[in-house]
A and B are shown apart, each in its own frame.
Chain A
Amino acid sequence: MFERVTEGLSGALRRLSGQGKITEANVREAMDEVRTSLLEADVHYEVVESFCRRVLEDALGREVTKSLKPGQEMIGIVHERLVELLGGPEEAPAGIMRVSPGPTVVMMCGLQGSGKTTTCGKLGAYLKKRGRSVMLAACDLQRPAAVEQLETVARQVSEEMPGGAQVHFYGEPERCAEYGKAVGVAVQVAQRALARARELGVDTLILDTAGRLHIDDALMGELHQMQRVLQPHHIFLVVDAMTGQDAVNSAKAFHARLTVDGVILTKFDSDTRGGAAISVKEVTGAPIRFIGVGEKLGALEEFHADRMAGRILGMGDVVSLVEKAQEEVSEEEARKLEEKMARGEMGMDDFLKQLRTLRRMGPLKQLMGMLPGVGQALKDVHIEDDQLNRVEAMIQSMTPDERARPTIINASRRRRVARGSGTRDQDVSQLVKQFNAINKLTKSMAQMGAAGKVRAVKELGGAGLGGMMPGVEGLPAFRTKGSTKSAPIRQRAKQRKKRRR
């Protein structure tokens, strides 16, 4: 969408440049593009209106019309204002407070199916990773099997992260009843969970609650009572990032009954623009603390306003990508690899390791989505496990020497590798060719500073899938549907580059 905004803005502005002078009317026209984009991203109507008004005032106040690059400057203002709206850097720190004596009590709330139970597990894993023991308490006595679901989730946290701090579960499955028949019981269950957590000396108690409509008085009352009796230190409102305009109504209602002090947005691994983030932030004033990016327990990220603004505007998220990569690769490993890369000595082994990391890092699309300028192209790329497997097989059929210096792979070696991996000669030579290209690229990248790297990735990102991610494009079997489709993106990237100059 940012491309849309960008194009819209520059289109609107280009039309004027012929006339020599940019007027207020032109800026307004450009703002209309921004408005449309935000509405398409599901930001609430009222919020969009007031936002656009503010930006327009700002733009006119700063006299963008006199700026040399009015388009650029407008985008800058839009982005800046969005970041401000989503919660500037001065916002309360992410994370979960720790009280003494414990336990810290965290309560979840939200509509049906927003992701509360899953998020309880993710928060549990997040805290466990930081050495804090947790108890997950099942206070959803309405939805069938909700208690079992949370119990399973708690067990999964323990199993997937063995050792370290403990993960407890508290539930009273026998007290479940049909919808609306067990209202209030949750409060008692929560109290007993708290008592038990105290006994066990648990660091943090996380209360899962039943999904409910914000207009259901009885059930909203139950939550209110829970807050009164348990006095949670954090109350998190869990919101589906795909929510439309109604996000405003539900968030407002939850906030009116409870002191929501943080928002968690889930399902951000989808291709939603997530404009609901802005709406919810605007009506609750509560900071967005975390975002859910998958069904697995590790798929929880701290929230960063600047990145989210970029996403809502469609700018891609280089920083997250880099960070995610850092989490996967140890610092030591990364340093070594970087040195090798700087010397242009990356071997096939390192390459393979990167590929595996990449695969572990989750759906490739999600990663690529974080890169700027490629949004459109992503839809057409399919990288399948078995294709990665073939590359792995080829590399594994190489001798250590060949892996360290793939240049020595001549025709006979190539044939041997192909036979050993059940591939064709030309697959092997293609792999080597691409590896060399990547090696050259990473060499020049490793020699840049961090900022330069981000810039380089950005520019490469626009240049088609090529340098977007070292080691992805054109791997032998990676198929790109309708390659003609990526052409406009390349062109656009070129235009963008030109503009930047």
Chain B
Amino acid sequence: MGLFRATVGKLRKGLARTREALGGSLRGLLTGRRLDEALIKDLERRLIESDVGVRATRRLIERVREDFRRGVLTQGDEVLSHLRRELVAMWPEADRSLRMNPDGVTVILVTGINGVGKTTSIAKLCKALRDEGHSVLLGACDTFRAGAVRQLEIWAERLGVDVVKGQQGGDPAAVAFDACSAAVARGVDVLILDTAGRLHTQDPLMRQLEKITKVVGRQIEGAPHEVLLVLDATSGQNALRQAEEFSKAAGVTGIFLAKLDGTARGGIVVAIRESVDIPVKFVGIGETPEDVEAFEPEAFVEALLGD
């Protein structure tokens, strides 16, 4: 699938603001300096401040410290490239494109906690898929939040696709069911299901998500083919719990990291990578349907370390 061949340049541009806002880049900090404990401490701070988390940071820093003691690392610049290599290696070359169903409707289930950017990210996916020539149908399974259906409808109108919706307050699994039937009947390529934001700690809602997954699976072979967990790049360590719990309930197949256009660096995906093996597939870098990029480890790490 050629979906979202990343243009690293665009991501860079989107993230340039970040660096300006933060002042002194890590590279500025490290370049031309001899490595010492103080510098290692600075490095630690940088990682923590990017939400990489204590555990992952310690692991990365310990390795630097060891090499420093053994005399392998002596210069600031070396540390930077060393760290960059370490981080990039966390996401080995893999297929990060959307999983498509070769014989029939591809169902993409989009989920996550409240307000992370699910609906907007759906608009982005929808546009990208359509740009690549796929026909798309949307399913409005957020029957809970006020105005949620209308929000999705407005995006659909702007993008020129249809939405299957149900009753406000109705059973989201029923909407998913109807959406699947409609998708099959109309022979669309991709069906994207929006869901209500739910906390990973809310058992009944997590089980409702399981139910949606099952209903969809019974309708279309192998569905949902892709379960995207949307994470907010500004979120802290709790996102790790989100990744773990949503994976358990819905078998997450990929992460959509939204809101990476702010000053947050989204280091939480490093922490997540340490404990759950879910590929990051896309990053959101704005509020319009164009603002999406494929996740590229190099570009991401570059921005994380603020070159």
Could you give, for residues 379-394 of chain A, a 1 whenever the CB lies within 8 Å of some chain B CB and a 0 otherwise? 0001011000000000
Contact between chains at A113 and B116 (CB < 8 Å): yes
Contact between chains at A242 and B259 (CB < 8 Å): no
Q: Is A156's CB within 8 Å of the partner chain B?
A: yes
Q: Is A111's CB within 8 Å of the partner chain B?
A: yes
Contact between chains at A245 and B261 (CB < 8 Å): no
- Min CB distance A417 to B, Å, is 28
B contacts with A: majority SS? loop
Could you give, for residues 221-253 of chain B, a 1 whenever the CB lies within 8 Å of some chain A CB and a 0 otherwise? 000000000001011111101000000000000
Contact between chains at B201 and A271 (CB < 8 Å): yes
Task: State the interface size on chain A (CB cutoff 8 A).
Answer: 54
Nearest A residue (CB) for B149: A145
- Contact status of A271 and B264, CB under 8 A, knowing A112-B115, A146-B147, A240-B115: no
Contact between chains at B202 and A246 (CB < 8 Å): no
Contact between chains at B268 and A244 (CB < 8 Å): yes
Q: Is A314's CB within 8 Å of the partner chain B?
A: no
Could you give, for residues 178-199 of chain A, a 1 whenever the CB lies within 8 Å of some chain B CB and a 0 otherwise? 1110000000000000000000
Find chain A residues with CB under 8 A from B153 CB.
145
- Min CB distance B159 to A, Å, is 11
Find chain B residues with CB under 8 A from A270 CB.
113, 199-201, 238
Contact between chains at A156 and B146 (CB < 8 Å): yes
Contact between chains at B48 and A144 (CB < 8 Å): no
Contact between chains at B147 and A267 (CB < 8 Å): no
Contact between chains at B150 and A144 (CB < 8 Å): yes
Find chain B residues with CB under 8 A from A95 CB.
none
Within 8 A of A (CB), among B193-207: 199-204
Contact between chains at A246 and B264 (CB < 8 Å): yes
Task: State the interface size on chain B (CB cutoff 8 A).
Answer: 52
Per the bound structure, the CA–CA distance linking A145 and B153 in Å amounts to 9
Contact between chains at B232 and A240 (CB < 8 Å): yes
- Min CB distance A304 to B, Å, is 22
Contact between chains at B236 and A178 (CB < 8 Å): no
Q: Is A473's CB within 8 Å of the partner chain B?
A: no
Q: Is B45's CB within 8 Å of the partner chain A?
A: yes
- Contact status of A243 and B116, CB under 8 A, knowing A144-B155, A382-B203: no
Within 8 A of B (CB), among A135-175: 142-146, 148-153, 156
Q: Is A115's CB within 8 Å of the partner chain B?
A: yes
Contact between chains at A39 and B262 (CB < 8 Å): no
Contact between chains at B151 and A244 (CB < 8 Å): no
Contact between chains at A214 and B262 (CB < 8 Å): yes
- Min CB distance B36 to A, Å, is 19
Find chain A residues with CB under 8 A from B85 CB.
none
Contact between chains at A242 and B201 (CB < 8 Å): no
- Which of the 9-residue segments B49-57, B97-105, B272-280, B292-300 touches chain A? B49-57
Per the bound structure, the CA–CA distance linking A117 and B113 in Å amounts to 16
Could you give, for residues 293-331 of chain A, a 1 whenever the CB lies within 8 Å of some chain B CB and a 0 otherwise? 001000000000000000000000000000000000000
Within 8 A of A (CB), among B53-81: 53-54
Within 8 A of B (CB), among A187-213: 213
Nearest B residue (CB) for A142: B287
Listed by A's residue number, 8 A-B pairs whose Cβ atoms lie within 8 Å are A113-B114, A142-B287, A148-B147, A149-B150, A242-B232, A244-B237, A245-B48, A249-B263
